[in-house]
């Protein structure tokens, strides 16, 4: 199963890199993190967890405000009580849209959709084995606000991420975007 995940990740990265050379000067990077809350079956006996993510995006020049990119994330949602937890790494291809991208406003709302692969890893006492993990397709939808500045753009947002009822969570986060076009 791990070999399939690695092959899929390599394919997605190769496709993204080969599709973006002309727009590479507008490549932007982002990083962030925040709280993760189990949803559906994952909400039973779980506490507030955390999520960290990083990614890159390229504007779609024919549609101002549209961006395509990749996001990698890792979420940790603990069970109450004890040391058990569900850990969820994933890699999604994303499509986003920033409203008012061509306006001079500094605060710009955005939406983002993603699909890709994620892994549900159940950890007992701080460790897990291969039998305790499952790789599956997943998806995400989210929205937030950007505060556009010349060198860095802070953003806040909320995303719902799911790979089925046992691997669904809500993430509330803060992040920072770097690079890309310097136009507001």
Write down the pLDDT at residue 183: 44
Q: Which CATH number is 2-179 given?
A: 2.40.160.20
The residues spanned by each domain of the chain are 2-179
- Span 77-86, pLDDT tens digits: 999 887 889 9
| pLDDT band at 106; cut points 50, 70, 90 | very high
Instruction: Centre a 10 Å sphere on the Cβ of residue 113 and count the other Cβ atoms it contains.
Output: 15
For 11-61, the pLDDT digits (tens) are 444 444 444 454 455 899 999 999 999 999 888 889 999 999 999 999 999
Residue 83: predicted pLDDT: 83
Residue 9 confidence (pLDDT) above 60: no
Neighbours of 132 (CB within 10 A): 14
Whole-number pLDDT of residue 20: 44
Query: What local confidence, expressed as pLDDT, does residue 140 receive?
Result: 97
């Amino acid at each position: 199963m791990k070999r399939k995940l690695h092959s899929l990740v390599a394919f997605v990265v190769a496709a993204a890199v080969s599709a973006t050379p002309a727009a590479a000067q507008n490549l932007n990077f982002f990083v962030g993190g925040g709280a993760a809350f189990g949803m559906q079956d994952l909400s039973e006996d779980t506490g507030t967890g955390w999520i960290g993510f990083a990614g890159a995006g390229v504007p779609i020049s024919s549609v101002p405000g549209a961006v395509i990119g990749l996001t990698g994330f890792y979420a940790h949602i603990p069970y109450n009580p004890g040391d058990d937890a569900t850990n969820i790494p994933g890699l999604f291809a994303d499509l986003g849209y920033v409203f008012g991208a061509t306006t001079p406003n500094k605060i710009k709302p955005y939406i983002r959709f993603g699909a890709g692969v994620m892994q549900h890893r159940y950890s007992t006492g701080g460790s897990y084995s291969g039998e305790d993990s499952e790789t599956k397709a997943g998806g995400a939808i989210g929205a937030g606000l950007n505060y556009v500045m010349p060198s860095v753009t802070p953003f806040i947002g909320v995303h719902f991420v799911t790979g089925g009822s046992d691997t669904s969570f809500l993430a509330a986060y803060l992040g920072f975007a770097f690079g890309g076009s310097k136009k507001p």
